């Protein structure tokens, strides 16, 4: 994979829902694009919440046997789902086991279409998500990219 998505943020430092950055990086061309996003909800962004259902998407080193996440660039149509209301870019694997023994999963990248935040998915406002969708469609159609590696980092 010549592209990678990097989710970067910090554990709960600010009052309310903290924002993160999702950056698209190419191995030869460098930083291609970035979007403001978040993961989890106002009470799920603390250190350790990656081990709790609904908390931050856990980084790979907090999971048993997980080397890498990937984002599938063929979106699922979840317009019927209240928190999504549109395209859902599935993050694989479907389920992971954290080093604390918690099963987490069903992660994706989608529009933040309901109450602010998510249950671990990476969510964006309408402006950022439309740009993300456009970029993913370009990669899928023009460059025939099927999936992009995802790396999650919190400080």
Q: Report the domain count for the chain.
A: 1
Domain that holds residue 20: 3-154
pLDDT digits (tens, 9 = 90+) for 87-142: 999 999 999 999 999 999 999 999 999 899 999 999 999 999 999 999 999 999 99
| Model confidence at 1: pLDDT above 80 | no
Whole-model pTM: value is 0.95
d(CA 86, CA 82) in angstroms, rounded, equals 9
- At 13 the pLDDT is 81
> pLDDT tens digits, residue range 28-76?
999 999 999 999 999 999 999 999 999 999 999 999 999 999 999 999 9
């Amino acid at each position: 994979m010549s592209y990678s998505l990097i989710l970067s943020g910090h554990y709960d430092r600010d009052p309310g829902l903290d924002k993160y950055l999702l950056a698209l990086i190419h191995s030869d061309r460098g930083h291609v694009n970035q979007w403001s996003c978040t993961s989890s909800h106002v009470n799920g962004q603390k250190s350790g919440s990656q081990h709790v259902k609904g908390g931050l998407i856990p980084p790979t080193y907090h999971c048993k046997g997980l080397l890498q996440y990937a984002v599938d660039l063929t979106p699922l149509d979840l317009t019927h789902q209240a928190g999504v209301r549109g395209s859902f870019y599935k993050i694989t694997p479907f389920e992971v086991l954290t080093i604390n023994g918690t099963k987490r999963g069903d992660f994706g990248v989608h529009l933040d279409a309901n109450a602010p935040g998510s249950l671990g998915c990476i969510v964006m406002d309408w402006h950022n998500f439309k740009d993300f969708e456009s970029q993913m469609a370009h990669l899928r159609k023009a460059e025939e990219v099927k999936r992009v590696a995802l790396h999650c980092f919190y400080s």
